[in-house]
Amino acid sequence: MKRLLIAYAHPDDESFGLGSVIARYVAQGVQVTLICATNGDVGTVPEEHLNGHDSVASVRLAELDCAASVLGIHEVIKFRYRDSGMMGSPDNEHPNALWKAPLDQVAARIAEVMRRVKPQVVITFDPYGGYGHPDHIKMHQATLAAWKLVQNDADRPTKLYFSTFPKTWIRLGVMLVRLVGKDPRKLGRNNDLDLQAMIDATTPVHTRIDVSAYYEVGMRAAACHASQANPRDVGGNGIGQSLARWFSRNALFTRAEPPPRPGEPVERDLFAGI
């Protein structure tokens, strides 16, 4: 059986980032396991989403369970660290925060999952964590460390991927932001989202997966995370939705292990060669 392990940080990362990818591989009979490292408990959710829940973490984890059911994920493994904030946030110093956790501790937990699940393919974040979130960066670092821990195992994973995206999209975002008079290095609620840094940190595309047939499943999974601002939700069924579908038709990855050979063509399947 083909097995895929995803090592991500927050409830909603799996749907907003990989929902259609997961749906495609589940439909092909791949057993997908997800590590969700944190509870999603830092920050707030709209009051109406707290009905029947005693905490933000309870809401976020229930949303994760909903999305996992929609996508057909075989197992969700919750490490239950506390969320961290963006770089420099006081939340990062909380003793239970993922960012504060010893790297070798997190890596050992991921390695334990690798040894039990025996995935052929592993996905995690790129070195910058997509947009610089410390929890994403920590999971990147810990997954690489776990990869090294299992290299002497007979049934170690074969391929390691980082999720990535084309620089063209972000450059377009920079242009649009500047057109409205904003600084692309200081975006977001706390001015801590830096589009230029995202461009500088983007890793190369080695693998391009056609997920166009699974767009609706990905949207349904993303809709489970109703307490969060959904980057997939452009509203309505007009040109905005058509553009979202077009931009989402391919999922892009950097292949970290084994590294591509010079001149190797772009892969069309995470399990190519397995």
Q: What is the pLDDT of residues 88-137, one digit of tens each?
A: 888 899 999 999 999 999 999 999 999 999 999 999 999 999 989 999 99
Q: Which domain holds residue 241?
A: 3-166+203-257
Task: Check residue 23 and give its pLDDT.
Answer: 98
* Domain total in the chain: 2
- In this prediction, residue 100 carries a pLDDT of 97
pLDDT at position 25, please? 98
184 falls within a domain: yes
What pLDDT score does 238 carry?
Answer: 58
Q: Within this chain, do residues 76 and 153 fall inside the same structural domain, yes or no?
A: yes
Backbone dihedral angles phi then psi of residue 189, each to the nearest 5 degrees? -55, -35
Report if residue 111 sits inside a domain.
yes
Please tell me whether residues 48 and 99 are part of one structural domain.
yes
145 and 186 co-located in one domain: no
What pLDDT does residue 170 have?
A: 74
174 and 245, same domain (yes or no): no
The domain that contains 216 carries what CATH number?
3.40.50.10320
Q: For 3-14, how does the pLDDT look when each residue is reduced to its tens digit (9 = 90+)? A: 999 999 999 999
238 lies in the same domain as 150: yes
**What pLDDT shows up at residue 182?**
79
Structure tokens at 209: 């997966």
State yes or no: pLDDT of 234 exceeds 50: no
177 and 247 together in one domain: no
Interval 50-70 mean pLDDT: 89
Regarding whether 84 and 186 lie in a shared domain, the answer is no
Give percent of the chain with pLDDT exceeding 90.
Answer: 66
- pLDDT at res. 245: 76
Residue 53 or residue 56, greater confidence: 56
In a domain, 264, yes or no: no
SS (H, E, C) the chain: CCEEEEEECCCCHHHHHHHHHHHHHHHCCCEEEEEEEECCCCCCCCHHHHCCCCCHHHHHHHHHHHHHHHHCCCEEEEEEEECCCCCCCHHHHCCCECCCCCHHHHHHHHHHHHHHHCCCEEEECCCCHHHHCHHHHHHHHHHHHHHHHCCCCCCCCCEEEEEECCHHHHHHHHHHHHHCCCCCCCECCCCCECHHHHHHHCCCCCEEEECHHHHHHHHHHHHHCCCCCCCCCCCCCCHHHHHHHHHCCEEEEEEEECCCCCCCCCECCCCCCC
CA 134 and chain centroid, separation: 13
Q: What pTM does this model have?
A: 0.92
Least Cα distance to 125 among 114, 138, 112 occurs for: 138
pLDDT at 235: 52
Report if residue 172 sits inside a domain. Answer: yes
Asked whether 229 and 192 are in contact (CB, 8 A), the reply is: no
- Compute the average pLDDT of residues 218-237: 77
Q: What is the pLDDT of residues 146-189, one digit of tens each?
A: 999 999 999 999 999 999 987 777 777 777 778 777 777 776 66
The answer as to whether 112 is a domain residue is yes
In a domain, 189, yes or no: yes
How many Å apart are CA 52 and CA 246, to the nearest integer?
Answer: 37
Q: Do 101 and 130 fall within a single domain?
A: yes
Domain presence at residue 266: no
Q: What is the mean pLDDT of residues 196-214?
A: 91
Q: Bridge partners of 46?
A: none
Residue with tokens 């937990």: 109
Structural contact between residues 217 and 177, judged by C-beta atoms closer than 8 angstroms: no
Pair (85, 208) in one structural domain? yes
Structure confidence at residue 21 as a pLDDT band (50, 70, 90): very high
Q: Is residue 272 part of a domain?
A: no
Q: Give the pLDDT of residue 243.
A: 66
Q: Name residues whose C-beta falls within 8 Å of residue 90's C-beta, 6 or more positions apart in sequence.
A: none
175 in the same domain as 63: no
Would you state the pLDDT for residue 230? 63
Residue environment code for 9-27, b if the CB has 16+ CB neighbours within 10 A, otherwise e: bbbbbbbbbbbbbbbbbbe
233 pLDDT above the threshold of 50: yes
Give Cα separations from 199 to 13, 189, 203 (angstroms): 20, 20, 9
> Does 72 lie in the same domain as 56?
yes
Indicate whether 156 and 176 sit together in one domain.
no
CB 123 within 8 A of CB 19: no
